[in-house]
Amino acid sequence: EVQLVESGGGLVQPGRSLRLSCTASGFTFGDYAMSWFRQAPGKGLEWVGFIRSKAYGGTTEYAASVKGRFTISRDDSKSIAYLQMNSLKTEDTAVYYCTRGSRYFDYWGQGTLVTVSS
Amino acid sequence: QSALTQPRSVSGSPGQSVTISCTGTSSDVGGYNYVSWYQQHPGKAPKLMIYDVSKRPSGVPDRFSGSKSGNTASLTISGLQAEDEADYYCCSYAGSYTLDVVFGGGTKLTVL
């Protein structure tokens, strides 16, 4: 059974950093691109970015709203994807989801809440 | 403002059919056959319902179907059931020049 479990969310002050983890199981993690999404309270889904599999160079793409502040990485030996978030802003407050895939997203984690507030 | 335009709400009675539209541009919906649809119940993670415009993942009932014409994609749910009441989001690949993945603002489906 495919499972994705996010962790690392919490309350953080504006300007600070936070790193989210997505631990995967039930599939060959290294074979897949992994993506991150977020959903602000009461709002719709927003794509954050994705990381390709090593077979496709392991490169990353980001939404304009987070480019230069957020970094996605992966550790295939541990089946974990990371979302490093720097220079956080209040508008980054959201539930963050990790998903499998890059053009459609067939498995989603349960999400982790990030609250950016002073 | 979302990149893809969906109606804010639709409704139907049990057993009826409803269609949710998703309008984009030739740079996203119209340019690629990479439209997907997600169902989200309150407080839950989204669930993939349709991918590549009209393909259904294993386990999704065949009451759910997808199509596309030009820059508009559609999700049709036939034989409405109470458990179909949820938010539905469309999504499209948009190429890597500006933004890779774009979403609609979501449609609230109410089963009357």
Cβ atoms B85, B107 nearer than 8 A: no
Name every chain B residue with its beta carbon within 8 A of the beta carbon of A109: 45
Mean pLDDT across the stretch B45-65?
A: 97
For residues A52 and A59, the answer to whether their CB atoms sit within 8 Å is: yes
What is the rounded (10 degree) CA torsion for A100, B1, A114, A92? 110
Structure tokens at A89: 């802003």
Nearest CA in chain B to A36: B101
Distance from the Cα of residue A75 to its chain's centroid: 13
Task: Give the mean pLDDT of A105-117.
Answer: 97
Q: Is the pLDDT of residue B31 over 60?
A: yes
Whether the per-residue pLDDT at A112 is higher than 90: the answer is yes
Query: Chain A 44-63, CB below 8 Å of chain B: which residues?
Result: 44-47, 50, 61, 63
DSSP state for residue B27 in the 8-state scheme: T
| Secondary structure (3-state) at A29 | helix
B105 touches chain A (CB under 8 A): yes
pLDDT at residue B98 in the model: 56
HSE-CB at B43 with a 13 A cutoff on CA atoms is 0
Q: Average of pLDDT values for B7-20?
A: 97
Of B51, B96, B99, the CB nearest to A64: B99
| Average pLDDT of chain B, as a whole number | 93
- Mean pLDDT over B38-52 rounds to 96
pLDDT tens-digit profile of A37-69?
999 999 999 999 999 999 999 999 999 899 999
A51 token code pair: 């990381």
pLDDT score for B2? 67
User: Which among B26, B48, B30, B34 is positioned nearest to B101, based on CA atoms?
Assistant: B34
